[in-house]
Amino acid sequence: MNAPAPLFSHRKHWAHRFGTAPFLPMSRAEMDALGWDACDVILVTGDAYVDHPSFGMAIVGRLLEAQGFRVGILAQPDWTSAEPFRALGKPTVCFGVTGGNMDSMVNRYTSDKRLRHDDAYTPNGEGGRRPDRAVVVYAQRVREAFKDVPIVLGGIEASLRRIAHYDYWSDKVRRSILVDAKADILIYGNAERALVDVVHRLAKGETTATMDDVRGVALIKPAVPEGWTVVHADDLDVADDGARKSGEHSVVRLPGFEQVATDREAYARASKVLHRESNPGNARPLVQRHGDRELWLTAPPIPLTTPEMDAVYELPFARAPHPAYGDAKIPAWEMIRFSVTIMRGCFGGCSFCSITEHEGRIIQSRSEKSILEEIGKVRDKTEGFTGVVSDIGGPTANMWRMACKDRETEALCRKPSCVYPDVCPNLNTSHDDLIKLYRKAREVPGVKKVFVASGVRYDLAVKSPAYIKELVTHHVGGYLKIAPEHTESGPLSKMMKPGIGTYDRFKQLFDAAVQAAGKKYFLIPYFIAAHPGTSDEDMMNLALWLKKNKYRADQVQTYLPSPMALSTAMYHTGVNPLKGVRHGGSEAVETVKGLKQRRLHKAFLRYHDPENWPLLREALKAMGRADLIGPGKHHLVPNWQPAGTGTSGGEGARMGRKKGEQVFLTKGGDKATLGRSGPAPTGPKRPAGPGPRRGGR
């Protein structure tokens, strides 16, 4: 793996003489005020424009501005005609298109395929301001408006749909989004390196057809170029052997779109290979046939260095929504305005999660100096700051500066997770630097409290009791969320999550730290209903565990198959891609697809709700567990029914709550009830976004 050119090493585009815009323009009037006759790059996004580094479009725009380009923003344009896409005129270089910080279908529909009526990335939370499959629709409208301008796709929707993929909402395998959008090139993963290279080369008159040397892109080719050895993925061992023999000019052929659309084992095999070819140190290009053309994916991008990360997050963001929104509230901005991102990526590799798939498993960390300076910017520049930093974290709270102890080993590794089935002995799990960072953050003048609201990876935290003590003593606001996801080994093995014993160990350390600190804090575990590999008995056992531990969830989430996830491959194919995938020799996975069974699994998580008791009684009898029906404490559900419940509505959820139990917000604004008396927990609610959303939540 050759070292890439530094991110800011390109010679700046000539338009850098115009300087820095207070906000990237969203109108011709703003362009005129800046003295621009045209934009070089116009970015189209499904989110409102908030000029803050938690919003991907702001990072992209400010990064291109720093490269010398004039960048305009079309935020949530009316997609019913091409005219709104002409509002800023014709760009001199290209259009960039993204659905926003979330996949537009995940943003718009629940796991039960019901329409959501709000949108956290829209002024006043208004729903319906972006189309379904936003990337495809926006790209088509751009092409109608300006037929000859290159279109570059990016963001999480493009990234997670870069190959042929199962789409939960249409219940079918769809082509690569690059094919459907009829765009010129797609940038996936952490896009900074590829973005800068592609735009500079387009500005010099180069076409995207020659950009197959850029890491982290997908493009369409008529055929595999000469000089490449094609290694078929029909047998993974052969693929690996062939790659070693053929050297760096080998490309792995995934089963084609037409094959994966009809052959479920072929789909599972393609998913397995894609995830195996994810380490920038050893990944090979991939090719997948779509009709008479080849979809070509270059190797994943090389992670940013700490100085490069610092430079990106220190770009001149206005740290506020665009003034065009006036007094309108943008919920996602309200949730993250006082938070600071310290790292990217996740080496957890949970099979249902989009973070590793999009950001990679190599942690990219900012420097301590840069983080502390941003806390100062939050204090000085963010309206309404009262001294409370709402979160200092990232995709997870406690992976900052963690990495493989040996770079050569890291470059050769093909494991999908550094912590499953056990924490890898080559992984540095020290929390010492993070503890020091927390202490220095608390000492920043004007800061009264620094919360850690990002989810804590508890199987790492148990390696450092000192970290748990620091967290509880200074950085917990009444409750701490962690995600064991289940209690049973069957679903946990499909999720690539540790056993419940690790949760028990963390709880012991957490409770001891709470007692030592003299606090009344609560630990909140999250669980997934209906994940592939989960049986009715698994959900029953989880419900019994919840009752034993006096946990009551007012609202829960059923598993949602997000594009490209390994668990989505399980859901669609009934095959386990974590094991060998060969015709006649693949491991079967029990999947939960029918609406009735999905509702049953969700009902087990809300065993206390009288509305669910008839369904649970029926299921328990069918399972031969009628012994769990009755009035005693050892029973799961009673053998009686309150009047007016058990048919429809949510009244039973309120009737099922006991006096003294605490209700508070959990991830995504859901509520959970803890069977414990004491003062109501305090502290900030962690934002549901921005950033890639986990497929199971």
* DSSP for 285-331, written as a single string: -EEEEETTEEEEEPPPPPPPPHHHHHHHHTS----EE-GGGTT---H
At residue 219, the 3 state secondary structure works out as strand
* Same domain flag for 202 and 233: no
Residue 311 is assigned to a structural domain of this protein? no
What is the distance between the alpha carbons of residues 212 and 217, in angstroms, rounded to a whole number? 8
Judge contact between 521 and 514, C-beta under 8 A: yes
Mean pLDDT for all residues in the chain: 91
- Which pLDDT value is given to residue 248? 62
Q: Same structural domain for residues 354 and 263? A: no
For residue 657, what pLDDT is reported? 38
The CA–CA distances, whole Å, from 318 to 22, 134, 315, 461, 466 equal 7, 26, 9, 35, 37
State residue 583's pLDDT score. 81
Q: For the sheet with 94-97, list strands across it.
A: 71-75, 41-45, 94-97, 151-153, 185-187, 217-221, 293-297, 286-290, 250-254, 229-232
For residue 235, what pLDDT is reported?
52
Are 347 and 427 in contact, with CB atoms under 8 Å apart? Answer: yes
Q: Are residues 75 and 200 in the same domain?
A: yes
Contact 431, 370 (CB under 8 A): no
Are 128 and 238 in the same domain?
no
Q: Looking at the structure, do residues 481 and 382 belong to the same domain, yes or no?
A: yes
Domain end position, chosen among 252, 281, 300: 300
Task: Confirm whether 352 is domain-assigned.
Answer: yes
| Spatial separation of the C-alpha atoms in residues 580 and 567, rounded to whole Å | 15
Q: Residues 196, 65: one domain?
A: yes
Q: What is the dihedral of CA 31, 37, 40, 45, to 10 degrees?
A: 30
State pLDDT tens for residues 328-340: 999 999 999 999 9
Alpha carbon 194 to its chain's center? 20
Q: How many domains does the chain have?
A: 3
Strands 286-290 and 293-297: antiparallel
Query: Is residue 222 in a domain?
Result: yes
Q: 124 in a domain, yes or no?
A: yes
Q: Tell me, yes or no, whether 331 lies in a domain.
A: no
Intervals of the chain under pLDDT 70: 1, 235-248, 555, 648-697
- The domain of 189 spans 12-213
Query: Is residue 190 located within the same domain as residue 291?
Result: no
Query: Are 520 and 411 members of one domain?
Result: yes
Please tell me whether residues 112 and 148 are part of one structural domain: yes
CA 272 to chain centre: 19
- Cα Rg of the chain, angstroms: 25
Instruction: Write the burial class of residue 686 (CB in 10 Å: 0-12 exposed, 13-18 middle, 19+ buried).
Output: buried
For the domain that residue 36 is a member of, what is the CATH number? 3.40.50.2300
Mutual orientation of helices 56-66 and 192-203 as an angle, nearest 10°?
A: 50
**pLDDT value at position 354?**
87
347 & 284 share domain = no
Q: Where does a domain end: 163, 178, 213?
A: 213
Residue 681 placed within a domain: no
Instruction: Write down the pLDDT at residue 646.
Output: 84
Q: Dig out the tokens for 665 from the structure.
A: 């917000």
Residue 221's CB is within 10 A of a number of other CB atoms, namely 13
Rounded CA separation 438/468 (Å): 12
What pLDDT was estimated at residue 457? 96
CB-count exposure of residue 388 (10 Å: 0-12, 13-18, 19+): middle
Specify whether 405 is located in the same domain as 265. Answer: no
What is residue 1's predicted lDDT score, i.e. its pLDDT?
Answer: 61
In a domain, 200, yes or no: yes
- Is residue 450 in some structural domain? yes
291 torsion bin: left (phi>0), alpha (psi -120 to 50), beta (else): left
Q: Which residues pair with 42 in a beta bridge?
A: 72, 95
Secondary structure in 3-state letters for 39-72? CCEEEEECCCCEECCCCHHHHHHHHHHHCCCCEE
Quote the distance between the C-alpha of residue 70 and its chain's center: 29
257-262: long-range contacts, CB 8 A cutoff, minimum separation 24: 257/164, 257/173, 257/175, 257/176, 257/288, 257/289, 257/290, 257/291, 257/295, 258/289, 258/291, 260/164, 260/173, 261/164, 261/172, 261/173
| pTM, full prediction | 0.91
DSSP-assigned beta bridge partners for residue 102? none
100 and 183 part of one domain: yes
The C-alpha torsion from 465 through 469 and 668 to 385, rounded to 10°, is -140
CATH number at residue 557: 3.80.30.20
| Listed residue (592, 571, 591, 584) closest to 267, CA to CA | 571
Q: Among 160, 194, 213, which residue terminates a domain?
A: 213
